[in-house]
Structure 1
Amino acid sequence: MNPVLELQGLSKQFGQLKVTQNVNLSLHPGARHALIGPNGAGKSTLVHQITGLLKPSAGKVLLGGQDVTGLSPEKRVKLGLARTFQINSLFNNLTVAENIGLALQAREGMDGYLMRDITHDSALMDEAAVLLESLSLLDLAHRNIVELAYGQRRMIEIALALALKPRVLLLDEPVAGVPSTEGSRLFDLLERLPAEVATLVIEHDMDLVFRFAKRITVLVEGAVLVEDDVQAVRTDPRVRAVYLGERHEHAA
């Protein structure tokens, strides 16, 4: 099975500062992969290169085997790459269903239509309802975004991303700022993500990482320290050293 997302020797340098260094990563359909690392490890810079917000100094980004290194973020979305960070502009005075409907319109190239027409499009509203029900969010469909708690808004952002029918979903710190009382429902939602979608979560919350991911890449000083399954990463002394602040070494 061919990877749906592949990074080949991805590097980014600002002057003499090397922010990411020769990063290789492959995600196959259905992957549940986490990217972790201490502050300043280069995680955000790496993700910006994946999505097209930053042009790499060296290396390639392939999506479904196609080299997308020179493509804009918008074109990458059209090819199946969605990131919650890019999809978080919710329309506060519209309902959840209307927000989902707008995302569905954009996916089909119908975003030139007036917003007021969305609720009169039964096919669009039916698809929005099916998506929300699959994520156990149908009870929020008729509520305005402005009425929702922060954790609920984060869940709707994920639903918006899924409305684009991505092959690859990047979850950018999905539980950041979410109270623990709302976090458990968000965890449950993540476990209901479509099985065929390759998912890369960038996260500091180790409870989420160990619960969600099947494989983990640890980034330190812009380079991959280790990539392995969850149990191997949890017990790796190099990883423990990084997170305990002890002296560590890693291969160049």
Structure 2
Amino acid sequence: MTAALELQGLSKQFGQLKVTQDVSLKLEKGVRHALIGPNGAGKSTLVHQITGLLQPSKGRVLLNGTDITGMSPEKRVKLGLARTFQINSLFNRLTVAENIGLALSAREGRDGRLFSSITQSPELMDEAAALLHSLGLLELAGRTISDLAYGQRRLIEIALALALKPSVLLLDEPVAGVPSTEGARLFDLLERLPQDVAVLVIEHDMDLVFRFAQRITVLVEGAVLVEGTVKEVRNDPRVRAVYLGERHHG
């Protein structure tokens, strides 16, 4: 079966500095996969190669069997690769539902600048409401983004990424900066993500990783140290050695 996302021998060098070293990784369709590793392990550089912000020096990135290595970030999104939007991409003066409507209209290739057409498009607003309802966020639909707490904004970022109907969703430290009181909502949302979407979560919080992931890849100094199930990774002495003393902020 074709993997949703496959990295084949990715390597990245900046001059003499090797930041990604022959990384191979397979995400099966609908899997929950975590990428972990201590600070400086090269996780961000790897994610940038997946999304197209950086070109690998060697190796290939495949999305549902298609080689996307040379494609722009925008083209990758159109083919089904979504990454959580950063806060500044939300339209602060618009409501949550209008923001979702914009993402839906962008997916449909409509002109997203025509705000009025979104609210006057019943099918788009229905789809926005259905998406928010499926994620347990419907009560936020009428709130403007600027009125939301930080943790709620992170929830809406994930909803926006899902509006693009991706086959692969990259979650880059979804709970970073979210107060623990709001963290529970985020956990709930992660567990409600559509089963057919493969999710790669890059995360420091081991509690989240062990609760959410089915498979884990541990990256150390730009190379894969170990990959396996939660149990295998949790019990691996090499992983324990790497994380000794940095269990919650590795």
Q: Could you tell me which residue of structure 1 aligns to residue 34 of structure 2? A: 34
Residues 1:81 and 2:119 aligned together: no
Provide the rounded CA distance (Å) in 2 between the counterparts of 1:105 and 1:87: 19
Equivalenced residues, count: 246
Q: Is the 8 A contact 2:87 2:153 kept in 1?
A: no
Q: Give me the identity figure in percent.
A: 81
Q: Could you tell me which residue of structure 2 aligns to residue 211 of structure 1? A: 211
- 1:159 to partner: Cα distance: 0.2
**Match for 1:80: what amino acid?**
G
Q: Could you tell me which residue of structure 2 aligns to residue 175 of structure 1? A: 175
User: What are the superposed Cα offsets for residues 101-156 of structure 1, whole Å, 9 maximum, x if unpaired?
Assistant: 00000000003551122111100000000000000000000000000000000000
Q: Could you tell me which residue of structure 1 aligns to residue 96 of structure 2? A: 96
Provide the rounded CA distance (Å) in 2 between the counterparts of 1:196 and 1:105: 22
**Match for 1:164: what amino acid?**
L
Q: Could you tell me which residue of structure 1 aligns to residue 70 of structure 2? A: 70
- 1:23 to partner: Cα distance: 0.3
Q: Could you tell me which residue of structure 2 aligns to residue 47 of structure 1? A: 47
Provide the rounded CA distance (Å) in 1 between the counterparts of 2:130 and 2:181: 26
- 1:244 to partner: Cα distance: 1.0
User: What are the superposed Cα offsets for residues 72-124 of structure 1, whole Å, 9 maximum, x if unpaired?
Assistant: 00000000000014686100000000000000000000035511221111000
The equivalences for 1:184-199 within 5 A come to: 184-199=184-199
User: What are the superposed Cα offsets for residues 225-249 of structure 1, whole Å, 9 maximum, x if unpaired?
Assistant: 0000001101100000001169xxx
> Which segments of 5 or more consecutive residues in structure 2 lack a partner in the other structure?
none
Q: Could you tell me which residue of structure 2 aligns to residue 137 of structure 1? A: 137
TM-score by length of 1: 0.95
Distance 1:180 1:86, change over 3 A: closer
Q: Could you tell me which residue of structure 1 aligns to residue 14 of structure 2? A: 14
Q: Is the 8 A contact 1:87 1:160 kept in 2?
A: no
SS of structure 2 residue aligned to 1:9: strand
User: What are the superposed Cα offsets for residues 199-241 of structure 1, whole Å, 9 maximum, x if unpaired?
Assistant: 0000001111011000000000000000000011011000000
Q: Is the 8 A contact 1:34 1:200 kept in 2?
A: yes
Q: Could you tell me which residue of structure 2 aligns to residue 162 of structure 1? A: 162
**Match for 1:38: what amino acid?**
P
Q: Is the 8 A contact 1:31 1:214 kept in 2?
A: yes
Distance 1:85 1:117, change over 3 A: closer
Distance 1:112 1:97, change over 3 A: closer
**Match for 2:186: what amino acid?**
L
Distance 1:23 1:55, change over 3 A: same
TM-score by length of 2: 0.96
Q: Which sits farther off after the overlay, 105-114 or 28-37?
A: 105-114
Provide the rounded CA distance (Å) in 2 between the counterparts of 1:115 and 1:36: 40
Provide the rounded CA distance (Å) in 1 between the counterparts of 2:84 and 2:179: 19
**Match for 1:16: what amino acid?**
Q
